[in-house]
Chains A and B, each alone.
Chain A
Amino acid sequence: MHQNIGRDRSLTIRMAFTFLMLFFVYLLFIGVLIALGVPFMFTLGFAIVMSIFQYYGSDKLVLMATKAKVVTNKEEPALHEIIERLSLIAEIPKPKKIAVMDSHVPNAFATGRNPKNSVVAVTKGLMSKLNKKELEAVIAHELSHIKNRDVMVLTWSSVIVIMAGYLLQMMVFMSIFGGFGGHRRNNDSGQLGMIIMVAFAVTILVYFISQILIMALSRYREFSADLGGAYLTGEPLHLASALTKISSDMNRIPEKDMRQIEHASAFFIIPAIKSNTVAKLFSSHPKVEDRIKKLNDIQKNLDSRKFSNYEPPYKNFRQKK
């Protein structure tokens, strides 16, 4: 599970595809186990183990899916410095891994099951297209996700969804095979095939409905990370300007040569899927305009507090330095 600040359709599609495929593979595997007559409790235990494995391995999975490369302090000293400094102010340990993705689209995400094992990744585009203040604002936003333990919350909600899916599927299978011992009592293959199909259809439906709910939760937590990040740097408008840059039309312009597209066009299916209401329902992020409006409100709030000698923590830290 990940949190990213802006929208990068190809990244989102890749992530969604990875998790969806993973989900189907689990489902298929469990289905096969049950069909083979493996006892229910064993299958349930296996499902729990798999979920725990996914929970602990989610950071590696996300890094793999996004092709992010972990960078050392030597390779990216400026990035390490910003993350280290902001982590200190946020009172969280410096993320275990800092990674860079080879994409010109400016974007960032944070992942990891807890602050100690967290990962922060940014794209090359983010580093080149944003100025230092904006980059800091985006990283502060990501660190807020870590501090709020959003990754954990969202991962657990997903695990619960997956578990619900398993249980539902198993219950349907139980009605066919009967009892928790998994003894067959009905070998009518036509009826069996029908019930298996219904079981899959219902499970997939449950999965999609749950995803809509999880995404609503994610959108709410996104606002909360904006707020946290804004107070961390004391400069919400830098996050607003970073968001404007990230979401602007500029980032839709591709880098891929027309000739390469021409050669590969036969295999293209993704461009046919355009953003629509369905995509909005599944969107993990609120509208950028709404976020910018809220950031402006935070700035107003900060301004009014400045009159009463309020100094944001970030500025204090800089003065001490």
Chain B
Amino acid sequence: MSLLTKILGRKNNAQKNRENYFSIIQAYQELQSNTQLKFGDVAGLLVNKENLEFLNTQENNPFFKATNTETLPNSSFSIEKDDHSTNWVIIHGENFPQIVERIHFAGEKITDQGFGDLILAAVFCVEYNSKKTYIIFNVKSAQFHPLVLEDEKTRDNMQEINLGTLLGSEKIPIEKNLELWHPLWGIPF
């Protein structure tokens, strides 16, 4: 921390982004028990890179190593390409907080390999009012926004606004500019 930051008491960006990201764990319990939001057991990391070979080779595979340690017990992950020349690192877990941790772990490993700038979003699969829904964490802005699906190619804007308000009320940082609530079509999980 620089002297200036110390004096002004400002948090640096990385720390702030990290806090924003993990705020969803703090809100999870309340949202799961008292709202129409049901958290799932799968999430993905969207990486703007054609090839994530390094994750697949066993010897370098941070996930492979991690699954055999206490860091990520019982984890499973897969990599899927999509039609947009992007890759998804898909992670399953036993409960939501665990998935949030694992996605963060995966992000750190990809960053270690020098591809941190290519991570676009962390995406959590949930259900809202019985509709397939994703909570998207935009890595660049470190803000969340919802994507509630009507069907494969249609989003339910009204429900998204409701969900955005709901998440915001639990102190999850929600992107204020609705024009930046970009969807991600064809999420493979």
Binding site for B on A (CB under 8 A): 249-262, 271
Contact = CB atoms under 8 A, between A and B. Distances in A.
A259 B84 contact: yes
Interface stretch (B13-21, B26-34, B153-161): B153-161
B171 interface: no
Contacts of B120: 258-259, 262
A262 B179 contact: no
A254 B179 contact: yes
Interface string B142-180: 000000000000010110110000000000000000111
Nearest to B138: A258
Most chain B beta-carbon contacts within 10 A, residue among A249, A258, A259: A258
Contacts of A259: 46, 48, 84, 86, 120, 184
Nearest to B182: A258
B183 A255 contact: yes
Residue of B120, B136, B158, B183 with most partner-chain A CB within 10 A: B183
A253 B184 contact: no
B184 A250 contact: no
Given A259-B86, A262-B48, A254 B161 contact: no
A271 B178 CA distance: 12
Given A258-B182, A258-B183, A262-B48, A253 B157 contact: yes
10 contacts: A251-B157, A253-B155, A254-B180, A254-B181, A255-B183, A258-B46, A258-B184, A259-B86, A259-B184, A260-B84
Interface size class of B (residues with CB under 8 A): 20 to 34
B161 A250 contact: yes
Contact of B157 (A250, A260, A271): A250
Interface of B: 46, 48, 84, 86, 120-121, 136, 138, 155, 157-158, 160-161, 178-185
A233 to B, nearest CB: 25
Nearest to B123: A258
Contacts of A254: 179-183
Contacts of A252: 178-179
Given A257-B84, A258-B138, A249 B161 contact: yes
A257 B183 contact: yes
A169 to B, nearest CB: 38
A271 B161 contact: no
B48 A257 contact: no
Contacts of B121: 258
Contacts of B136: 258
Contacts of B155: 253, 255
A250 B158 contact: yes
Given A249-B161, A250-B157, A262-B48, A257 B181 contact: no
A252 B86 CA distance: 26
A257 B182 CA distance: 6
A257 B84 CA distance: 10
A257 B46 CA distance: 13
Contacts of A250: 157-158, 161
Nearest to A258: B182
Contacts of A260: 84
Contacts of B181: 253-254
A256 B157 contact: no
A31 to B, nearest CB: 38
A249 B120 CA distance: 25
Nearest to B121: A258
B178 A257 contact: no
A302 B184 CA distance: 47
Given A250-B158, A250-B161, A262-B120, A257 B185 contact: yes
Contacts of A253: 155, 157, 160-161, 178-179, 181
Given A256-B182, A258-B138, A258-B184, 19 more contacts: A249-B161, A252-B178, A253-B157, A253-B160, A253-B178, A253-B179, A253-B181, A254-B180, A254-B183, A255-B155, A257-B182, A257-B184, A258-B46, A258-B136, A259-B84, A259-B86, A261-B182, A262-B120, A271-B179
